[in-house]
C-alpha cells in the first residue's frame, strides 16, 4: 500500500503545496484540512486518527510527541509511522523527503516506527 501522509498543524501549509508540486499523486493532508483532524486537536487524538486513517504523521513537535507515541503504543495502539522534523530543515528538503518516502517505500514498512526527517 502506498504511504499516505498527515502533516501536523505546526508545519507550514506551504509544505503540502510543495510536496504536491513535486508529485501531484501523493496523498497528503494537513491538520485542519477537510477529512483531517481539526486545528488544535490533541496529540493523542492525532495518533488515534493516523492509526485509523493509515497515515504517516510528519510533525515538528519534537518535545512532547515521543511521550505521546510511547503512551499510544503502551495502550496497545499502533501507528503508521511518525517522523519528527529536524530543526532548520527547509520546506524544499521536506517536500523531497516526502516524495522519496512515497516513491521508494510501502506504508507497512513504517508501522510503529518513529524517525527523523531528513534521514
Whole domain around residue 85: which residue ranges?
A: 4-117
What distance lies between CA 24 and its chain's CA centroid? Answer: 17
C-alpha cell at 95: 517536500
> The domain spanning residue 84 has which CATH number?
3.40.50
Global pTM reads 0.95
pLDDT of residue 62: 80
Q: Please, which pLDDT band fits residue 63 given cuts at 50, 70 and 90?
A: confident
Q: Are 83 and 116 in contact (CB under 8 A)?
A: yes
37-58 residue pLDDT tens? 999 999 999 999 999 999 999 9
C-alpha cell at 40: 488544535
pLDDT band at 118 (very low <50, low <70, confident <90, very high): very high
Taking only the tens place, the pLDDT of each residue in 2-29 is: 999 999 999 999 999 999 999 999 999 9
Q: How many domains does the chain have?
A: 1
Amino acid at each position: 500500500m502506498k504511504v499516505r501522509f498527515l502533516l501536523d498543524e505546526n508545519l507550514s501549509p506551504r509544505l503540502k503545496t510543495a510536496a504536491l508540486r513535486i508529485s501531484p499523486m501523493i496523498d497528503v493532508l494537513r491538520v485542519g484540512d477537510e477529512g483531517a483532524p481539526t486545528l488544535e486537536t490533541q496529540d493523542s487524538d492525532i495518533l488515534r486518527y493516523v492509526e485509523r486513517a493509515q497515515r504517516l504523521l510528519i510533525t515538528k513537535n519534537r518535545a512532547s510527541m515521543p511521550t505521546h507515541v510511547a503512551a499510544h503504543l503502551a495502550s496497545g495502539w499502533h501507528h503508521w509511522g511518525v517522523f519528527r522534523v529536524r530543526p532548520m530543515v527547509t520546506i524544499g528538503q521536506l517536500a523531497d523527503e516526502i516524495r522519496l518516502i512515497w516513491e521508494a517505500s510501502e506504508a507497512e514498512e513504517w508501522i510503529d516506527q518513529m524517525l527523523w526527517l531528513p534521514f
